[in-house]
Structure 1
Amino acid sequence: MIIDCHCHAGPGDGLSGPWDSDATLARYLRRASQAGIARTALLPAFHSDYAVANREVARMVAASPQRFYGYAFVHARRDRGRIGAMVRTAVEQYGFIGIKVHRHDARISGEVCDAARRYRLPVLYDPAGETSVAELLATQYPDVNFILPHLGSFADDWAAQLALIDHLVRHPNIYADTSGVRRYDLLEQAVRRAGPHKLLFGSDGPWLHPGLELEKVRLLGLPAADEALITGHNFLRLAGIG
C-alpha cells in the first residue's frame, strides 16, 4: 500500500498564494489514483486559526477514514498556551496521527515537542532550511520522532539539504520526506548514507503532482522491500499504525 505522508487540504484564508488559499483535492485524488497511491495524510493549508483549519481537515478524514489520515497544524507562537489542548482535541476527537509545524509561522517550540511526547505523535516540522535545529530536537527530545519535509528545504537550499543528511545518519529519531526535492543526487545520497528506513514518500499535494513525486522514489531502483519502507511502511511505523 502506497501512502502519501504529506498533502495539504481544506481552507486557507490568507490569499497570498496557493499555500494559504483553499486546497482542494479533486485533481490530487485523480492523479494519486492513477499513480497507485492508496492513502494520504492530510494537513491544513496555512490559516489564521489552525483550530478552525484542523476541524475542516477532520471532517474530510471522517468522511473517508479508509482514504485519509490527519495531522494537526499548530502555530508555535500564536497558539502558545493552547497547543496541548489543540493536540488533545486532534487525537481524542479527530483521531489524528501527527503534528505539523512550519518555520514560516514560527520556530518549533518545547510546547509542541512536549505535546508530541505526551501523545506519542510524530512531528512533521518544515524548518525552511534551518536544518541545524535537528541537532537540538534529536538530543533534547530523543523519544519524539521528527520528519523534516523536502529533505529540510523546499527552497532548494543545497547546503541545508546536505547538512540534513548528516542528521539523518546520526540521529535515530530524525527523518525526512521526499516531497519537492529537486536535487535528485541528494535524494540518492540520503538513501545510500542514512538508509531507506529514514525517508518517507510525500508529495506536498495538491500543489505538486503526486505521480511525479512518487516516480522519484521509483527511480532510485531500490529492492522492493526497501522501496516499500519509503512508500508506506515507515509512515505506518512512525504513526503507530498496525
Structure 2
Amino acid sequence: MEKPSQSVIDAHAHCGVIDRSWPQSFADYARQAAGTDIKGVAVFSPVMEIYDRHDYAFVDTPAWQQRRRESNAHLLSLASEPMTIYPYFFIWNDFAVDQLTSAHCGIKWHRHHGEPVYAYDDPRCRLALDEIRRRRLPVVLEEELENTIRFIRDLAVGITVIIPHLGLLNGGFQLIAAAGLWNQENVWADTALADREEIQEYIRSYGHHRLMFGSDFPFGDPYAELDKIRRLNLVPAVEAAVLGGNFIRLQARVHRL
C-alpha cells in the first residue's frame, strides 16, 4: 500500500486491558497499524469491559461500575503513546457523565439485538445527553434501527451522531437512508467494515464531509481497512477528508471543559 505524506486518523478502534477474549490492547493495535501512515486513533473500551453482552437480563452492580471506571480510565492513560490517542467514554445505564474529563473526545453508545437495553426513559439519560450536548461531544451510536431513529430524531437533537460501519449494524445502509437519517447535518458515518460499493454510494449521494475512516480493530485490520479506502481512487481532497481531515474538523468543535 502506497504511503503518502498525509497523516491518517482511525476513527473507530476498540482497545482494552480487562477483556482478554481478543488480542485488543493498544500494543496489539499498534502492531497491526505498523507500516501504515495512521498517526492517530479514536479508542473505545471493548463491550465486555462495560456490560455482559451475553445476558439480556443483565443487572448492573458496583463491580461492573468499577470495571467500567477502570476501562474508561485506561484509555485516558494511553495519552503518552507516540500515536495521538482520542479516548471516547463508553456510557452505560448509570449514565456516569460525572466521569467525563476534558481529555475525552467523544462518547461510545453501543448495543446489539439481544443484548441488555439502554434505559432511554430514565431521567438520567436525558440529563447525560444534556451534558454531552453541552460539551459538544460526538456520539458513536451502534444500536438497533428503531432505537437509532429515536435517538437521532428525539433524544440527541443538537448532538453529532456517528453511525459506524455505514449503518451495517444499525439496520443497514439502505434502511437508514430510507429513514432520511443520512441527510441530517448532525449525522456522520464511519467506514469500518463497510462495503466498498456503499461507501461510494454514500459519497455520491451525501458528499464526503461527514464520513470518516475507521478500522473496527480488533474485528477489522487497520492495514486492510485503510487499503480499502485507498483503492476507491477518490480524488485527493476527498480522500484526505475521509482519512483524517473530517475527524480533525469534528474534534475542533469539542468543548474542553
Aligned residue for 1:216?
228
Change (3 A) 1:86 1:3: same
Gaps of 5+ in 1: none
Q: Given the alignment of the two structures, is residue 113 of structure 1 paired with residue 129 of structure 2, yes or no?
A: yes
Higher relative contact order (CA 8 A, sep 6+): 2
Pick closer, same or farther for the CA change 1:191–1:168 going to 2, 3 Å.
farther
What is the Cα-based RMSD across aligned positions, in Å?
A: 2.5
Determine if the alignment matches structure 1 residue 180 to structure 2 residue 193: yes
Shift of 1:164: 2.4
Aligned length: 222
Please tell me whether residue 55 in structure 1 is matched to residue 67 in structure 2: no
Unaligned runs of 5+ in 2: 1-6, 50-63
| 1:111 Cα deviation from its structure 2 partner | 4.0
Equivalent residue runs for 1:5-154 within 5 Å: 5-13=11-19, 17-18=21-22, 23-46=24-47, 47=49, 48=64, 49-61=67-79, 63-64=80-81, 67-75=84-92, 77=93, 79-80=94-95, 83-87=96-100, 91-92=101-102, 95-104=103-112, 105-107=116-118, 109-127=125-143, 129-130=144-145, 133-134=148-149, 136-138=151-153, 141-154=156-169
Q: What residue is the counterpart of 1:201 in the other structure? A: 213
In the alignment, the residues of structure 2 paired with residue 84 and residue 241 of structure 1 have an alpha-carbon distance, to the nearest angstrom, of 19
Q: Secondary structure of the equivalent of 1:3?
A: strand
Using a 3 Å threshold, how does the CA distance of structure 1 residues 221 and 135 change in structure 2: closer, same or farther?
farther
Deviation at 1:222, TM superposition (A): 1.2
Which structure has more helix as a fraction of its residues? 1
Aligned counterparts of 2:137 and 2:37: Cα–Cα separation in 1? 27
Q: Distance in 2 between matches of 1:135 and 1:171?
A: 14
Identity of aligned residues (%): 29
